[in-house]
Structure formats: C-alpha cells, structure tokens
Amino acid sequence: MADINIQRKKSSPSPWLLVLLVLIVLAVVGYFLFRSDTAEPVEQAPAATTSAAPVAADSAAEAETAPPLADGDAAAVADMAAAEGPVTADELATFATAETDSPDYGRRGLQMLTASLSSLADRDDLRGDATVAERRNDLTSAISRSSEPNASLRPGFVAVAGLLQAIQQKGYPDLEKPVAELGEQARSLSGRTTPADQPALQAFFTKAAGILQTLDEPAP
C-alpha cells in the first residue's frame, strides 16, 4: 500500500495585520507631511516683516519732508510779493478797470492784492497783532497753491477778505460793511478766470481797491 504524503496546510497571514501595517505607514507619512507644512510659514514670516518695513519708512519720510515744502511755499510767496513791490490802492483800481481783457486777469489781480496786503500787514501798528498775523498766514497758504495747474483762485480771494477784515477790526469801524460785502463777493466767486467771470472779478478788485485807500492811513 502506497504511502500518502500528508502536508500540513500553511496558515495565511491575518488581514487585520495587513490593515495595521497600512495604518502605521500612513501615520508615518502623514507625520512627515504635517511637519513640512507647519515649517514653511515659520520660514516665510521674516520675509513678510521685512517687506512691510519700507512702507512704514516711506510714510515717515513723507511726514518728515512735508514741513520743508510748506516753508518753500511761504518763501515763494514772499519772493513774489517782493518782486511785485508795493502796490498802491490807485494802482489796483487802475488795473481793475484797464486790464479786464488780460487772460490772466484774476491771478494777476490776486497777486497785486497779496503784495499790497503783505506790505500793509508789516505796518508798525499792525505787525504785532495776532489775528492779523494769522490771517496773513492763511493768505500765504492760499496764494501758494494758486499757481498749481487748474487751481481755483477762490481760496485766495476768501483769504484776502479775511485779512482785510482783521485789519478793519483794528480801528476802522466805517469799513465794517464794505469789508463784509467784500467777503460775500469772495465766497460767491467761482475761482475761475473765464470771460464770464471777468465782471465779478472786476467788481471784487474795484471794491478791494476802495477799501485799501482808507487803510493806507493808520487807524485814528
């Protein structure tokens, strides 16, 4: 009788063991991926900080350079007034009626008024007055912008009326009404210099010249 070779059947590995191995591998891979993701923002943080620094520096530079620009504007206005020379009330009145056809009529008249008022504000009886000095600074600030492209002249006219009012209140009670009317005229001006604006500009310059004629003499 032949011998029958009986071999014991090998047991297959448990499927749970395979699942456990797969989970371990995934956990290891996920750990390294998580570490690499969290490390990147730490490396980029210094770059973001350094890029913000120039912006703050530029803002600080603009703040530091602003005062010199204002001083330059004031110096330019002073130079303009000096170049213009003393402008009398009669000269302004003549200009108001004789130069209406000038294409730069409004700006030229405003420059003449600024020169005249700058000289007037330096008079001994007005130089130390705080209100006059403040209104003169307002005029300086307004006139310094009048030469910019497409700039409105209206702030300059309003500042002229404000300075005249400050001088009038120093001892010219008879000029209270004319100066108040000049202020209303200034506020109603468009600030442009078109032919349609010439009549209103002429009326303003003529009235300002009449007020300056009275202000030529110190207050009684």
How many domains, in total, are found in the chain? 1
Task: Quote the pTM value.
Answer: 0.62
The rounded mean pLDDT for the chain is: 76
Q: Are 45 and 113 in contact (CB under 8 A)?
A: no
- Residue 11 included in any domain: no
Greater confidence (63 vs 107) lies with 107
Alpha-carbon distance of 200 to 106, in angstroms, equals 10
- Residue 1 included in any domain: no
- Residue 27: pLDDT band (50, 70, 90) is confident
- Residue 128 included in any domain: yes
How does pLDDT run across 192-211, given as a tens digit for each residue?
988 999 999 999 999 999 99
DSSP 38-58: HHHHHHHHHHHHHHHHHHHHH
Instruction: Give the residue from 88, 166, 178, 158 showing the smallest Cα distance to 129.
Output: 166
Say which residues have a Cβ less than 8 Å from residue 190's Cβ, sequence separation at least 6: 152, 154, 197, 200
Q: How many CB atoms lie within 10 A of CB 9?
A: 5
How does pLDDT run across 121-139, given as a tens digit for each residue?
999 999 999 999 999 999 9
108 is in which domain, residue-wise? 84-215
- pLDDT of 214 reads 93
pLDDT at 39 over 80: no
- pLDDT of 144 reads 87
Q: Which amino acid is at 85?
A: G
How many residues are given for the chain?
220
Sign of CA dihedral 91, 141, 121, 81: negative
- Residue 25 included in any domain: no
- Residue 135 included in any domain: yes
- Residue 109 included in any domain: yes
How does pLDDT run across 155-195, given as a tens digit for each residue?
999 999 999 999 999 999 999 999 999 999 999 999 998 89
Say which residues have a Cβ less than 8 Å from residue 197's Cβ, sequence separation at least 6: 106, 189, 190
Alpha-carbon distance of 182 to 185, in angstroms, equals 5
- Residue 8: pLDDT band (50, 70, 90) is low
- Residue 143 included in any domain: yes
How does pLDDT run across 43-99, given as a tens digit for each residue?
444 443 333 333 233 323 323 333 333 444 444 444 444 445 678 999 999 999 999
Greater confidence (40 vs 153) lies with 153
Instruction: Give the residue from 209, 133, 19, 169 showing the smallest Cα distance to 201.
Output: 209
Burial of 214 (0-12, 13-18, 19+ CB in 10 A): middle
- Residue 50 included in any domain: no
The arithmetic mean of pLDDT across residues 29-46, rounded, is 55
The arithmetic mean of pLDDT across residues 12-38, rounded, is 69
- pLDDT of 145 reads 83
| Alpha-carbon distances of 4 from 1, 7, 8, 9, rounded to whole Å | 9, 10, 13, 15
